[in-house]
Chain A
């Protein structure tokens, strides 16, 4: 660590003997601006240029609203399912010892590594009415492929590692002595889990939920194969953007994208607030 001498006034950077600050920061900023910032501000500029009446007409179009509802709704359900099972997976990986644990642990990252299109066609084949799983669900009257339920299944696949990998490291850090102390004081296992373990994990679970949710809202590749893509029923917002682009309806594509970005950032804000609340409540 560099020890900064007592300095007067504002200074952009603290002095250091290490060279290359200008070069690396300059290059990084230029690259970031060219690849990310200019294209993204182009999107915002284009949607602002639409004017309020046109923007409002696109935003309140029944098909747009339905697509947004489907994207956010299915992503929410999938993230909620992943919170339950992802936390359970993390618990088993952290606390239990069994042969092949290392392999199971590595497998959890499969959705990160497997291209989404591959996941999409694989899940569709599994859950199609004549597929391995679809065949079993058919007699029960459950249709998965080509329905919103299919979207949820794809998003559970995509989101699982986000929850596991956020919760797992926090679980590993839990000091067992606290549990032991509670046990010697007569707490039941259930009390220990709900009163001691859960509060410590709540912030990580919230983060995992929001990461899985955010990823699910924007997900495209794995969903479009299994969704059936019926307008108003199983059409996700990213697909509607693609459809509008293919119709050369740039204003609609831009407006829907801007709404998605806005809602995602709003959600991030809410999650951050929820997190600081849970830190105050449990921390």
Chain B
């Protein structure tokens, strides 16, 4: 603070007269309130996850992670994300192309529909598939007669995950591609490129950071989803338990170290997601539409 250069920059940047900003003591109080609030509500929950996971030492931690049921929960979570994220990438790109590159009737309505899953409770997102595919469901009898299992199995978990992560890629790409306009694509087409080449060599490089940003958020939610998956999974240990569901089971069995060990992996995923997201925002902020808000 003693550096005169910094001080003058600050004064220039922050205020010219005291009435345009709060007084120094008021600033200190506001910052103290904010830090205390964020410390209690954000930092402590994060710290306690790792604290509890390591409460009985590193060996107990690694041991609970090498448990067979835990391993299968990790594998299932990776499998579900590996199926549902690419599905939503294809949808997101396709929807963004249709909505951003063309003017057609009902566009605004379609954009609203894409956001619909965000305003539905995760439990309801799971419930709708139970009503459709369950034993008493609309298609339940037909599925049973044909020996197709969707509910309480991997397909149901994938469907519920696709439902809750549905908007992430699309809502990132749509505003970005709208902002970029059609000029580049029209130039490529007029130079003789076909549609596929135009997309692959012109559009995709233009939106790659925005796409990555959407995929990052989509993946975090896909791996962490609890409510929707909980309703359709059936909670069969070693078979239909994803990592978040496994956290619940271990926690309810009073296996705190086990529950928090799995939770620490998910918290690690969240931290990696946040770091990558922040890096993307810092380096490619202009090429990411979502930096204006979620």
Contact = CB atoms under 8 A, between A and B. Distances in A.
A189 B116 contact: no
Interface in B28-80: 30-31, 33-35, 37-38, 40-46, 48-49, 52
A220 B121 contact: yes
Contacts of B30: 88, 91-92, 96
A264 B119 contact: yes
Interface string A244-259: 0100101001100100
Contact of B116 (A20, A36, A179, A219): A36
Interface of A: 1-2, 4, 12-14, 16-21, 23-25, 27-29, 31-32, 35-40, 42-43, 46, 85, 88-89, 91-92, 95-98, 102, 104-119, 121-123, 125-126, 132-133, 156-157, 160-162, 165-166, 168-169, 176, 179-180, 182-184, 187-189, 192, 214, 217-221, 225, 238-239, 241-242, 245, 248, 250, 253-254, 257, 260-261, 264-265, 268
12 contacts: A1-B182, A14-B102, A24-B94, A28-B91, A85-B33, A85-B34, A85-B37, A113-B220, A116-B227, A121-B247, A122-B263, A254-B131
A126 B244 contact: no
Nearest to A20: B195
Given A106-B278, A114-B46, A119-B45, A220 B163 contact: no
A122 B48 contact: yes
Interface stretch (B10-18, B141-149, B204-212): B10-18
Contacts of A92: 30-31, 34
Contacts of B260: 121
A188 B189 contact: no
Of listed A88, A119, A166, residue having the most chain B CB within 10 A: A119
Of listed B94, B114, B282, residue having the most chain A CB within 10 A: B94
B31 A217 contact: no
A110 B91 contact: no
Contacts of B129: 39
Interface of B: 10, 13-14, 16-17, 19-23, 27, 30-31, 33-35, 37-38, 40-46, 48-49, 52, 90-91, 94-95, 97-99, 101-105, 110, 113-114, 116-117, 119-124, 127-132, 134, 136, 138, 159, 162-163, 166, 181-182, 185-186, 189-190, 194-195, 198-199, 217, 220, 223-227, 230-231, 243-245, 247-248, 251, 256, 259-260, 263, 266-267, 269-271, 273-275, 277-278, 282, 292-294
Of listed B20, B110, B121, B186, residue having the most chain A CB within 10 A: B121
A36 B230 contact: no
A176 B127 contact: no
Contacts of A96: 27, 30-31
Nearest to B259: A121
Given A24-B98, A184-B17, A97 B124 contact: no
B13 A97 contact: yes
Contacts of B271: 113
Contacts of A238: 121-124, 227
Nearest to B292: A169
Given A21-B102, A166-B293, A116 B130 contact: no
A149 B194 CA distance: 60
A42 B16 contact: no
A29 B111 CA distance: 11
Contacts of A16: 101-103, 182
Given A126-B45, A133-B40, A27 B34 contact: no
A220 B293 contact: no
Contact of B227 (A38, A184, A220): A220
